[in-house]
Amino acid sequence: MVLTKEFVEGIRAITKELGIVLIFDETCTLRAGYHGMQGIYGVRPDLTVMGKIIGGGVLIGAVGGSKEVMEVLENKVALSGTHHGHLMAAMAGIATLKQLDEAAFEKLNGQASRIKNEINSWAIENEIPFSYYGEHSILGYAFTDNVDRKINTIRDYWGNTNGNAMQIYALEMAVRGYYPVVRGQIALTLPMTDENITGFIETSKELITEIYK
């Protein structure tokens, strides 16, 4: 699910007015663009939590923010963790981030848009209640209760989706060489080619047809 720009701007305005620290969890959404979702929204939080993609496949986490907040953390808050300063994670992260330039994000987001648009158009044309939703290179998917169902909130997801069908889709796609997350999510990576995306789309159509029919 993707929050609207107006909602995020409103939260930023309220937190500033009340003196509340605004924290963005960009553990997953950092891959949305060169500056993460905050760059897309045009809203700067006080702290940002990061992980996953910045480790290049190795476990890592990070937090960063404004000078005002970080100075408080440095002087008054004890920070510790199992992977602090882990050399392998740091080196893998540096190598990964060097590859993630603006062209890389444009490629990933373009491939994700192709998956969403082609599968959704096909599903609507064939009156199949299945859709991909979300933005950028992390997408959600769901078998829903009707063809026109939109997934905009967690309530939409839990109240109107077929969990059994989604599990079958994920497991059968894995048998065919693609690995969506069972809970209804996919994430793209730079090595994926246009041919890989075509294969994913066509395999999805075949499998969704089998499940639905």
Alpha carbons 107 and 117: distance in angstroms, whole number: 15
pLDDT (0 to 100) of residue 101: 93
Global confidence as pTM: 0.86
71 band by pLDDT with thresholds 50, 70 and 90: confident
Burial code (b: 16+ CB inside 10 Å, e: under 16) for 12-50 equals: beeeeeeeeebebebbbbbbbbeebbbebbebebbbbbb
The residue-averaged pLDDT of 166-180 equals 95
> Does residue 1 contact residue 157 with C-beta atoms inside 8 Å?
yes
Closest CA to 169 of 200, 126, 147: 200
H or E element that contains 206: helix 194-212
Is residue 80's pLDDT more than 80?
Answer: no
The residue-averaged pLDDT of 46-51 equals 94
What is the residue-averaged pLDDT of the chain?
91
The residue-averaged pLDDT of 64-68 equals 92
